[in-house]
Chains A and B, each alone.
Chain A
Amino acid sequence: EADIYQTPRYLVIGTGKKITLECSQTMGHDKMYWYQQDPGMELHLIHYSYGVNSTEKGDLSSESTVSRIRTEHFPLTLESARPSHTSQYLCASSPHMSSTNTLQETQYFGPGTRLLVL
């Protein structure tokens, strides 16, 4: 089982509040990712990082921000939550692989945070 943790698991919060979703991994992985998942829909990549001090926006436009100050930690922040942010947020990590014919994109997922914004 992957050693990647997310807190909180569930969060109900009012509109306008600032929230931070935590993600930590103990595998020493360089790459980390945040996905948004809605029922019956694809996982959409919202942020990713290839290492400390590296952050990039993903394919899905998001009003959230991320930081990567430590290898093991990749928090996601919403400055002002809105009902449209209601979703499940999944964090993942993967190791750096240099060979082209190895399992270079095995992503290990955390259990997710279910967010409800009222």
Chain B
Amino acid sequence: QKEVEQDPGPLSVPEGAIVSLNCTYSNSAFQYFMWYRQYSRKGPELLMYTYSSGNKEDGRFTAQVDKSSKYISLFIRDSQPSDSATYLCAMSGMEYGNKLVFGAGTILRVKS
């Protein structure tokens, strides 16, 4: 069983829709949770970072962590065609020497 599970998609939505991207994980030792966005033929770039449980908002993006359910989410409001990319969740913790464990990524397509 993978440590981090992420639905690969592709997820196709119309412009303006609210998008929900999710990851589940198995190890309760994870403390730091991140979302990366990766455009085609580019390296991943950090979108959101959260420590432990709770919500964090940045513009149209909201990251949510529920440690009791071992579940994290990224919400994108008013999605735009420029949001079309692969979204990778990643997590880390002291037990991992702060190395990152990644999900496989969800491909998102926002249609104009």
User: Could you list which residues of chain A lie within 8 angstroms of chain B, going by C-beta atoms?
Assistant: 2, 4, 6, 33, 40-43, 45, 48, 58-59, 90, 92, 101, 103-112, 114
Contact = CB atoms under 8 A, between A and B. Distances in A.
B59 interface: no
B107 to A, nearest CB: 9
A105 B104 contact: no
Dominant secondary structure at the A interface? loop
Interface residues of B, number: 24
B44 A109 contact: yes
15 contacts: A6-B43, A33-B99, A40-B104, A40-B105, A42-B101, A42-B105, A58-B99, A90-B43, A92-B43, A104-B32, A105-B34, A105-B92, A107-B46, A111-B42, A112-B41
Nearest to B4: A42
Contacts of A40: 8, 104-105
B88 interface: yes
B43 A112 contact: yes
B43 A42 contact: no
